Structure 1
């Protein structure tokens, strides 16, 4: 097949202009998300709306450059949090070994081992130009896809060595490196970190491979003959995922070419492509758009999930380049092949990289001359042997990352106002992304229902939810006839609103106590409680199957979001009332996690040892990344200096950290931590004493 290069918004396949317009007109709704709904759905849609890696995704409508800048910043943070790289670990000088140089016509090949993490070694092969002077040269990372032979793959549909040899002959350095569990890099398997408890610490195979790519780029940048202003990356399939992930978080890439991976209809089918939390709100399309305006070409194939590139993913990503005034920095191509990185595709990438990295006049394809790959045995770094003696096994490596996370949290424990500010700058974004909370500017819709006067108080039924989010929360507003403070208590229980009604339907328990104290009360049925309970959805929501947490919020994440939304609703419908959260029973734990969004919080903390990772896997408590921001204690610390009561405390809570956070914020008197459970009148009195 003759290579055909695709400029922006044009297909490399032979399509008539009228046919292409028809395809675009039919498929346009697939890639641009319509404006958010301005009415609530007839019922809460979330429990049954479970997404997976094959669920078609849409590209969000982006109003202007400022809107994209904000979205891009938010998405980058989410990527780093989901991969366990927020904040990015200190990298320091990269340690590597280069050996066994072989000279060939126009290039050399060497073996490389990089120590990317204490006790972990990444292996690969370095191809350098020969006979073209001392450089500096452009340098290109080459992650590979799920070929059976990994970086040794040399087939008609793809040759990692072939493209590296060609890059070197063209005057560019190329480094091919292993996926985890392939070839030399087998000290941990390609199923690394699959134990569910690792999700609590954001330890994942995708996080490890993303980190390896960052360190591989550090390696290229450290070479004396590389040009740090002309670094690039290209890979196919799973290597395409590694390419756009690296481009999303590392602006050192001057160009990139993810091959046969960017798709609206399939997001990646391997553990190494599915970090928990990564695609709850966004898809690979938005991730692939993050490098804009830096040059990028995306190549697709008619025989795989990227076949819609000419009219779905390509135009969607191009819209961001146009928005940023960089239309010519982006191109997409599609060829009539099955899943591949074959010669036709490679020649397209050669032209693109030479144009942007070596200033050739045109990005048109460059013909690939014949090449000959070295024998596998001559490319292997360890020669069939074992890596260095300090190489960690799977359990050891996962423990190393967990211990790193614990050390990072300990270093953030505040002791003065400056320490408090630093803690919040790191953990506040982590808290928001780990719990998958919407930004504070998302519109809240409220529908008021019947209002009844009950003698001393009024009772109003209402529903509320976020615009376009699919949630519909049933609630009851209880307002005293003579309120004593401008305070609304958002009161929740795992049994929903009925927990606060007696047999006659009148307020009881905490609801009655708050009303008697002259406080307004908002009773809410949060996700999968009360009226929102959907028994048929339970079997669909197994958090540990089908990469559930990559694409969906867990039950607890949904409930925490509902509490955050409830706080905003309480302020919205009550003319600026302070919103106080109060959670009883298991709901106390959800309330504690939502505390940073409230003006004050009362949380029952009984029935759970939060230091027991296995216990945290229960649906009532589970959220990926929970422990990375300090868990329940971390959320409590982030609530400072706002008043906080935690009662019914058992074992396992890091109360010392909470106390230090409030003291550092100058709010020691606003914190109450107690082992005994507070009675309903005591809770009401606490609000009276702390919010006037």
Structure 2
């Protein structure tokens, strides 16, 4: 057909043996320093084999386009199974391919069984059909077989047809379903691909296009390595060195984003804030209908407490809560977030905690919540310390968090739903957040996601850092959080919200101070360095001032 063809080995296949293809979690590589792929540390920096493989695909395209004989406007990409995944992933992130044929991979069923096809956050609320649709309006041909793609004719492809029709190019999407064959890229499938490329790359070949007989090359003929060009070193030490280099390079780039003025603050919010948007996966303005149900009431310390069930209707989520609006009311409300849930409002049976009581006496309404995995969500009322993982493939984080929000993010979702409920039901003049004694990290992430709806926020981080999390099922595990300057990087996104910060020592982290200076409101950042027992009282005093 006259095309230049570049056929490369994916990670861990054939000549590409520096890294194993499916190494999985290995105890000796799960270290705090010099870690390997699949470790909690690697996931906290979003270092994945799928990411590396996709980078390799981009670099392969770079190489092809460096060749003088290659027309940069006529690039086709095809592959089957895992190669099909790489085809539609590359074509989703890179604008240079002109036509694509991902074979036996795009469907509404199984989305990819290999670690090279899965990564945290990749398919939360979406799937391969929508990812492949990102290639539109460029020509997209799909091949189905008697595997997980066998229902594409009725599930997935009709939606792609509607998309291409809406874009005015219905002829640019096609599906060839060869259900008489199992998972494959056989001759029959290839005879569908050839004319598609012939047409859309403008090759001008007479059709039908038939393959010529050929003899498969031997291993010796296929390998690129010989005595003059030996394979590069690989193994554990190479893997550690690679990730060490990637980590240091990433740290340098993220540190360079620390804001120095208003312009650089915008860039910081774009990059770090954009990453937090993905990691948390929800913003306040995205929450549509929030409903609530009264579940009873009781009087404690002279205040009327109402039991509530808050519902994020579209998401199908429920949050048990207790709300107290004192009389008289100063039109202020505090959402009081604790590590134990709404029971953190109390200092024992029938007795409000002194900090909560002081807020109510000051005329401020208070809402306490059972975040996901707290209080009424558990059999014993104790907060969950571990997240549920994919039971079949628990050793790799991407199999769970590629499809499901981490518990940390789910708890932030609950805080945002509570903000929405308070806005709708109580309609206060200002809403404040308080996260103390082990709950500060959730509140820190909720502030920027609330999009300016928070008046003041009291945050006691207790020194928490995502980088210290050592297991992928830990309740504090949030993939990628260490990469984007950890919890201080998220806290910096709070500017210009009034922020009371404890648990960080005598001064706020440098990135937080820089963000408040760049926002022109350094006075809105208050640091508390008192002992742990006195922090709640100090936070309440600051909130009531």
Q: What band does the TM-score fall into relative to the shorter chain?
A: 0.7 to 0.9
Superposition CA RMSD, Å = 2.7
Change (3 A) 1:535 1:482: closer
SS of residue paired to 2:540: helix
Aligned: 1:188 with 2:19: yes
| 2:33 paired residue number | none
TM-score, length-normalised on structure 2?
0.88
SS of residue paired to 1:521: strand
Aligned: 1:277 with 2:121: yes
Cα-to-partner distance string for 1:533-552 (whole Å, 9 max, x where unaligned): 25799887037546212121
Q: Answer whether contact 1:451 1:458 (CA < 8 A) is retained.
A: no
Give the one of 319, 333, 339 matched to 2:162.
319
Give me the whole-angstrom Cα distance separating, in 2, the residues matched to 1:253 and 1:244: 10
Aligned: 1:396 with 2:241: yes
| 1:413 paired residue number | 258
Give me the whole-angstrom Cα distance separating, in 1, the residues matched to 2:466 and 2:128: 34
TM-score, length-normalised on structure 1?
0.70
Give the one of 357, 367, 379 matched to 2:201.
357
- 1:228-239 to structure 2, matched below 5 A, reads 228-239=72-83
Q: Answer whether contact 1:435 1:626 (CA < 8 A) is retained.
A: no
Change (3 A) 1:514 1:258: same
SS of residue paired to 1:570: helix
1:416 shift after superposition: 1.0
1:625 shift after superposition: 0.8
Give the one of 39, 43, 58 matched to 1:214.
58
Give me the whole-angstrom Cα distance separating, in 1, the residues matched to 2:329 and 2:212: 83
1:617 shift after superposition: 5.0
Aligned: 1:328 with 2:182: no
- 1:57-96 to structure 2, matched below 5 A, reads none
Aligned: 1:376 with 2:376: no
Q: Answer whether contact 2:341 2:374 (CA < 8 A) is retained.
A: yes
| 2:361 paired residue number | 516
- Greater percentage in strand: 1
SS of residue paired to 1:683: helix
Change (3 A) 1:264 1:377: same
Aligned: 1:600 with 2:456: yes
Q: Answer whether contact 1:446 1:462 (CA < 8 A) is retained.
A: no
SS of residue paired to 1:233: strand
Change (3 A) 1:439 1:581: closer
Give the one of 506, 510, 521 matched to 1:667.
521
1:333 shift after superposition: 1.0
Q: Answer whether contact 1:564 1:594 (CA < 8 A) is retained.
A: yes
Change (3 A) 1:539 1:487: closer
Cα-to-partner distance string for 1:328-367 (whole Å, 9 max, x where unaligned): 11001111111111111111000111111116599x8632
Give me the whole-angstrom Cα distance separating, in 2, the residues matched to 1:500 and 1:444: 27
Change (3 A) 1:456 1:611: closer
SS of residue paired to 1:406: helix
Give me the whole-angstrom Cα distance separating, in 2, the residues matched to 1:250 and 1:531: 46
Q: Answer whether contact 2:371 2:415 (CA < 8 A) is retained.
A: yes
SS of residue paired to 1:174: coil
SS of residue paired to 1:469: coil
Aligned: 1:622 with 2:477: yes
1:199 shift after superposition: 0.4
Aligned: 1:247 with 2:101: no
| 2:510 paired residue number | 656
Q: Answer whether contact 2:17 2:234 (CA < 8 A) is retained.
A: no
Give me the whole-angstrom Cα distance separating, in 1, the residues matched to 2:473 and 2:298: 41
Change (3 A) 1:482 1:365: farther
Give the one of 382, 404, 410 matched to 1:552.
404
**Once structures 1 and 2 are overlaid, which stretch shifts more, 219-228 or 377-386?**
377-386
Change (3 A) 1:540 1:682: closer
| 2:305 paired residue number | 459
Give me the whole-angstrom Cα distance separating, in 2, the residues matched to 1:647 and 1:507: 23
Structure 2 gaps of 5+ residues are: 24-35
Q: Answer whether contact 1:232 1:253 (CA < 8 A) is retained.
A: yes
Q: Answer whether contact 1:178 1:184 (CA < 8 A) is retained.
A: yes
Q: Answer whether contact 1:582 1:603 (CA < 8 A) is retained.
A: yes
1:569 shift after superposition: 2.4
Change (3 A) 1:175 1:654: farther
Change (3 A) 1:479 1:340: same
